[in-house]
Amino acid sequence: MDNVYSVYKCRVLRTYDLTDEEKLFLFRFEDSVIAEKWGFIPGQFVQLTLPGVGEVPISICSSPMRKGFFELCIKTAGRVTQKIHEMKPGDIAGVRGPYGNGFPVQKFEEKDLLLIGCGIGMAPLRSVFMYAVDNRWKFGNITVINSARTGNKLLFRKELEAMRDMAEAENIRIIQTVTRDPDWPGWVGRAQEHIRHANTNPKNSYVCVCGPPQVYHEIFEKLIEGGYNPRNIYVTLERRMKCGVGKCGHCIAGSSTFLKYICIDGPVFGYYDIISVSGLI
């Protein structure tokens, strides 16, 4: 029997400062066989280990189409992530996974796609976005709403800015919006206020949302008001996961009629899961 808790060695190839708190890491498996074999679905996460320090669950933020390596966007939020931020190209970490269900991207094909990321929530959605860009012909119009408090807190800001011209030609609308930055020249306001500016047809769209728990209700309200089908709304959630495989119990949510493990039943949930399982958001 394989040990599900065993980690595979990964080397950091590149690091990139996204904001003052978030860093992007490019990893490659040391074992070339694993590197070839390894794949994931956008929305899945890995357990990243720093030997002797600990393990943290992190969403994968690169495209699954790009084989052999993967990217993780990591925010300094605790002891382990602080240590991870000290890693440099060439350093080794441990990875196991991918875990979780991921977004049903196959279902999204031939439909418009609206991605709403608030703060660090943009990280897992970047994986969906890049997958859609890599398979551009399979999708209809795409809108990304990337929101943060200030301009320099916007994740992947430069990357998204850089593709703006190409994006317009490809029917991809990028809305980067901030709430508390008087110097910001672009869109202003919370993510939900820009749903109406999306180029997606509400009747024919899938929506992916990720952000802090407080924002979901308002985003749902605006989406449904705007004519988006609740059945086509997906969210991805965050919890503290020690095992990632439905054992340690830290990510259990819900009540007596529906008990869900975020790690194996999620982290991606549909709108109707959210409203029938209390405590998910």
Partner 1 sequence: MRYLKIEKDRTYEFLEKLKKYGKLYAPVKISDKFYLRKEIEDVKEIAFDYQRTLLPLKKYFLPTCEKMFDIDIEKNEYRENLEKIEPFVIFGAHACEIVGLRILDGVYLNVYPDIYYARRRKAGIIIGLSCLPDEYCFCNLRRTDFVDIGFDLFFHELPDGYLIRVGSQRGHEIVDENIELFKSVEQKDIDAFREFEERRQKSFKYQGSFDNIRYILELTANDRLWDEESEKCLGCGNCTMTCPTCRCYDVQDIPRINLKSGERIRFWDSCQFRSHGLVAGGHNFRETKKDRFFNRYVCKNSYFYPLGTSYCVGCGNCTYFCPANIDFQKNLDKIRSNYEVIHG
Among 243, 266, 269, 271, binds partner 1 (CB under 8 A): 243
Whether 208 contacts 125, CB under 8 Å: yes
Number of other CB atoms surrounding residue 73 within 10 Å: 24
| CA nearest neighbour of 211 among 191, 196, 227, 231 | 191
The count of chain residues that interact with partner 1, using the rule CB under 8 A, is 46
Residues numbered 83-112 forming contacts with partner 1, rule: CB under 8 A: 92-94
| CA nearest neighbour of 43 among 235, 174, 270 | 235
Q: Which one, 22 or 112, has the nearer CB to partner 1? A: 22
> Binding segment for partner 1 among 141-149, 190-198, 215-223, 250-258 (CB under 8 A)?
250-258
Among 39, 189, 212, 227, binds partner 1 (CB under 8 A): 212
HSE (CB half, 13 Å, CA atoms) of 16? 15
Here the tokens at position 202 are 């509400």
In the complex, least distance from residue 253 CB atom to partner 1, rounded to whole angstroms: 7
Residue 261-280 contact track with partner 1, rule CB under 8 A, x = bound:
---x-------------xx-
Binding site for partner 1 (CB under 8 A): 1-7, 9, 49, 51-56, 75, 77-78, 81, 92-94, 212-213, 238-240, 242-243, 245-250, 252-259, 264, 278-279
